[in-house]
Amino acid sequence: MEKEQIIEILNEWNYWNRELPRTVQRNSYDDKISKFINKDEVLVIKGVRRSGKSTLILNQIKRLHKQGIPRNEILFVNLEDPRFTNYLSLELFEKIKEVYLEYLDPKAKPYIFLDEVQNIKGWEKWVNKEVELKQSFITITGSNSSLLSSEIASVLTGRYISVDVYPLSFAEYLEFKQISVKSKMDLVSKKIELNRELSNFLRDGGFPRLVDYPNDEKKELLGAYKNSILLKDIVARFKLKNFEVLNEITAFLLANVGIIQSITKLKNNFSISHEMASDYVDYLKKAYLIFEINKFDYSLKKQRVNEKKYYPIDLGLSNLMRVPNREFRGADLEQVVFLELLRRGYKVYYYKTSKDLEIDFVVEKNNQIVQLIQVSKSVKDKKTYNREVVPFTKTKTELHLDSVECLIISEDESRGLEDGVKLVNIKEWCLL
């Protein structure tokens, strides 16, 4: 690849001579990333495609500008630019760096952002070299399994800091819509607006670009997202030939939020081998399309063999796959709570008692179970109330939990219930 072609591409993606585009801040991510951006470790930003990783990089570039870092000391490389396609190799990294140093002549250690780094085989060798020789501050992003924690640890020799990025939370979704909620009074005074936006959020999901997209075009965009993830992060990466079965399993797991499932059931449902069912689920997890959680047990061996529960990355994708005119409100609220728990840094399990009573979420922090959570649209109906409340006592007894907090999250008003169980409104839980 010629030098002139490389600098032309780099110039189009960088902001050396022009202003950065308008972006919305995502403070929880922006603050965390900024703490680590100038450390002598690789900063790894990972998550599903279109979750906003590139925008987070732009936000960091803006912060660096404000801090007085000269523009020529910042390099952004989009490794999905089609003009790089035929040259994706370690030699390309060297050429890009060489061209950048020649044309921009940075006087200090540069900040280098490599977007979708997994497109170059062996990328970790070049990144390790840059970091170990302290030649650059390196931030990388990626959308698939090459950046899973287990794989990064083996290739980056422990010299990395990782930030997981998810689609918008409900709080971020409101920020993107410029709706501010700071207190319980805001929940009351903006009740109608917030109820409407919660329904929109449950329908459309949290991919950032969808917020300002016309309603009649959202389905098409979500379909493009799903196909891009399947084709680029699964079919191309794992050289799959049976796209139809992959698509069917994807649709099933995305549409059925929080289902308890086993590989054997999937094998039987789709008339495929156990190995294929297991592999396809693994590929979907590695592309960040679904999450798998274990049934809680103090025995790790039992956790591994018990049936799993699956949650999709985004409700917009779920609704793309569902049959029309069905009510999914309770399951969708459960999905919102699940992802919010991950964002808040909790480890999550489900639990079934010896009498088959289910707890939606057993929540762990720092190796301690800190909460048991049930999620329901409403518990005003007596039968529903009993179904949600009764499992708490049995679960606490079986797991030997004395003082664990028990919550039911629903659309009802917050209040205390029997046996110390708290009922919390979902908007209050998400926003305050």
Taking Cα atoms as reference points, which of 84, 92, 72, 79 lies closest to residue 11?
72
For 3-164, give the CATH class: alpha beta
Structure tokens given for 282: 């693994």
> Which band of pLDDT confidence, cut at 50, 70 and 90, is reported for residue 118?
confident
Q: How many CA atoms lie within 13 A of 148 on its CB side?
A: 14
Whether residue 148 is predicted with pLDDT greater than 80 in this model: the reply is no
Q: Kindly report which listed range (62-66, 124-128, 274-278) carries the lowest average pLDDT score.
A: 124-128
Burial 126-151 (b: 16+ CB within 10 A, else e): bbbebbeeeebbbbbbbbbbbbeeee
Instruction: Give 330-432's CATH code, choosing from 3.40.1350, 2.40.50, 3.40.225, 3.40.50.
Output: 3.40.1350
Q: Give the confidence band of 145 by pLDDT, cuts at 50, 70, 90.
A: low
pTM of the model: 0.94
Ranges for all domains in the chain classified under CATH 3.40.1350:
330-432
User: Please, what is the average pLDDT of the chain?
Assistant: 95
Alpha carbon distances (Å) from 180 to 176, 183, 211, 354: 10, 9, 16, 45
Beta bridge partners of 261: 308
Judge whether 234 and 284 are in contact, CB under 8 Å: yes
Distances 112 to 60, 72, 137, 213 between C-alpha atoms, Å: 11, 11, 6, 31
The CATH 3.40.50.300 domain(s) of the chain lie at: 3-164
Does residue 316 surpass a pLDDT of 60? yes
Highest mean pLDDT among 241-245, 321-325, 351-355: 351-355
3-class SS of residue 225: helix
Q: Which residues pair with 431 in a beta bridge?
A: none
Average pLDDT for 159-180: 95
Tens digit of each residue's pLDDT (9 = 90 or more) over 9-29: 999 999 999 999 999 999 999
Mean pLDDT throughout 178-207? Answer: 97
CB–CB of 14/20 below 8 Å? no
- Grouping H, G, I as helix, E, B as strand and the rest as coil, residue 409 is strand
Q: What is the rounded average pLDDT of the residues 412-425?
A: 97
Q: Is the predicted pLDDT of residue 46 greater than 80, yes or no?
A: yes
pLDDT tens-digit map of 345-398:
999 999 999 999 999 999 999 999 999 999 999 999 999 999 999 999 999 999
In this structure, of 126-130, 198-202, 330-334, the range with the lowest mean pLDDT score is: 126-130
Query: Rounded to an integer, what distance in angstroms lies between the CA atom of residue 328 and that of residue 331?
Result: 5
Residues, the chain:
432
At position 146, the amino acid (one-letter code) is: S
254 by Cβ neighbours in 10 Å (0-12 / 13-18 / 19+) ranks as: buried
